[in-house]
Amino acid sequence: MSENRRILSGMRSTNPKLHIGNYEGALRNWVELQESGHEMFCMVADWHALTTMQGNSGEAGYNAREVAKDFVAAGIDPARSAVFIQSHVKEHAELHLLLSMITPLGWLERNPTYKEKQGEVGGVEREPYGLLGYPVLQTADILLYRPLGVPVGRDQAPHLEIGNDIGQRFNRLFEVEIFGPYKYLIPADENRAKVPGLDMRKMSKSYDNCIYLTDTPDETAEKIKSAFTTPSKLRKTDPGIPEGCAVCQYLKIYSPFWETQWSEDIAGERGCMQNKKELTEIINEYFRPMRERRAALSDGDIEDILISGADKARAVASETMSMVRKAMGLY
């Protein structure tokens, strides 16, 4: 048997636009894995997006396609990697259902992400069943591809653990060896993976503090102009505190000269305006190729990419389902 080089990862399409935090925290890692010769399955998790949409999901299909465009813009090459939408490969639903029969409720109730989201959607009467089952669906997403590894941000670790536990439990209960344990591939550079928002809180659409992959150079410049810096640095000569300054944090990620920029900022030898100006140029240059690729992608292009991506995904997923059904005695 050839060496397993398969990698599966996914991103929820809660919003149509991905931000640079999504890029640094996940997509960048996917592209690197693709470049090092892995067989990539890059999934837009549109069903997972429904868990918190409470009925307001009229834009689900649009959002999913826009997110898929951002995958390609970021450097996922559809000729080498499968780019697909979860709901286009129905095997995900079937495996989710079957795995739900062997997943202990306690594992799901203990999940920290579940406890967090529970509060957001309201009381028990409003809490959807899908939210509790979220990790089971995610496990189905992963196990269908029997991957070598799953690249995700650190926040996803609890879900990945449940996934391996479910896979091993399946093997044990049905006395098969269908699911080998997969690796969690967390980005090595944790600082870079956690780009702060423009206001130094977590980068999130709900805080309106994002730089999006699709922002124009001018929009980016405007956003950086109003980004949070050292509050007590009113003049150039006042000392800066780069650890708490969004502009300095971005310089650390994107600027090859950040160490000089930081020490001058601290010493009161450079002002916030200069930092912002230099950062704007560097960031716009960094994201230029992605923005160009994005602008060149038509709706028709992405439709073709998603059809062939779903075909590639289905080829592996249907093989796994045959094994699973057989193991469970379903025919």
**What residues make contact with ligand TRP under the rule CB under 6 A?**
8-12, 45, 48, 138, 141-142, 150, 152, 156, 159
Q: Give CA–CA dist 208/19, Å, rounded.
A: 11
Phi and psi at 136, nearest 5°, equal -70, -40
Exposed e or buried b for every residue in 143-180, given b needs 16+ CB within 10 A? bbbbbbbbbbbeebebbbebbbbbbebbbeebeeeebe
> CA–CA separation, 165 vs 259, rounded Å?
44
Least gap, CB of 126 to ligand TRP (angstroms)? 21
Q: From edge to edge, which strands make up the β-sheet containing 183-185?
A: 82-85, 39-45, 6-12, 149-151, 183-185
CB of 14 to ligand TRP, least distance (A): 8
Q: 205, 225, 236, 277: which is the annotated catalytic residue?
A: 205
| Of 151 and 197, CB closest to ligand TRP | 151
**Closer CB to ligand TRP, 11 or 246, in the complex:** 11
- The question of whether 225 is a catalytic residue gets the answer no
Active-site hit among 17, 117, 225, 277: 117
Residues paired with 7 in a beta bridge: 40, 149
Minimum distance from residue 211 beta carbon to ligand TRP (Å):
19
**74: closest CA among 35, 48, 39, 47?**
35
Least distance in angstroms from the C-beta of 212 to ligand TRP:
17
Closest to ligand TRP by CB, 255 or 320: 320
**Does residue 202 have an active-site annotation?**
yes
117 is catalytic: yes
Of 150 and 317, which has the nearer Cβ to ligand TRP? 150
Catalytically active residues, by annotation = 117, 202, 205
